[in-house]
Amino acid sequence: MSYLIFTTDNCLFLTCEGDVTLNELTAAWREVQAVLVENGWKRVLVDVTTIKTNPQMEELFDLAKLLWREFPQGGRIALAVRWNQTQFAKSLEMLVRNVGVYLTVFVSKEQAEAWILKGTSGKEKVQEFAN
């Protein structure tokens, strides 16, 4: 798996592509958490629309624990997925929200970006999209 982390407007963006394993996702997420803590940020957009392999349902709880452990309180995560990833992603969303992390799934990178940037850096408020 290759991934790219970049920042803008007090938000962090993580884009993953290629074949992905849980260990690689863990390494990328730990890097994300370090940047969030270092900057005091609470917003992340994760784009997995170009990954070739999808996590298995048995990895759902491991991924959920990875996301909620040490995530800033009051933070929010936008998860951009393909249509064929939505069932897994919505299950992940439900689990993570039950422990207090505000994760929302989108099938449009543009909608995910608009939602995560809403209210940051004096930007004009944007309409919240239904997913």
Q: What string of pLDDT tens digits covers the 131 residues of the chain?
A: 899 999 988 899 999 999 988 889 899 999 999 999 999 999 999 999 999 887 777 888 888 888 888 888 889 999 999 999 999 999 999 999 998 899 999 999 999 999 999 866 544 333 443 43
Tokens in use for 13? 């963006």
Q: Which pLDDT score is estimated for 120?
A: 63
Q: Would you say residue 130 lies in a domain?
A: no
Q: Distances from the Cα of 109 to the Cαs of 37, 40, 82, in angstroms? A: 25, 24, 9
Q: Which pLDDT score is estimated for 131?
A: 39
Q: Would you say residue 110 lies in a domain?
A: yes
Tokens in use for 124? 């004009």
Q: Would you say residue 74 lies in a domain?
A: yes
The CATH number linked to 8 is 3.30.750.24
Q: Would you say residue 72 lies in a domain?
A: yes
Q: Which pLDDT score is estimated for 130?
A: 42
Q: Would you say residue 99 lies in a domain?
A: yes
- Host domain of residue 43: 2-117
CB count in 10 Å sphere of residue 88: 18
Q: Would you say residue 56 lies in a domain?
A: yes
Q: Would you say residue 106 lies in a domain?
A: yes
Q: Which pLDDT score is estimated for 59?
A: 85
Coil, helix or strand at residue 106: strand
CA 119, chain centre distance (Å): 18
**DSSP category for residue 118:** T
Residue 47's identity, in one-letter code, is D
Q: Which pLDDT score is estimated for 122?
A: 43
Q: Would you say residue 124 lies in a domain?
A: no
Domain count, the chain: 1
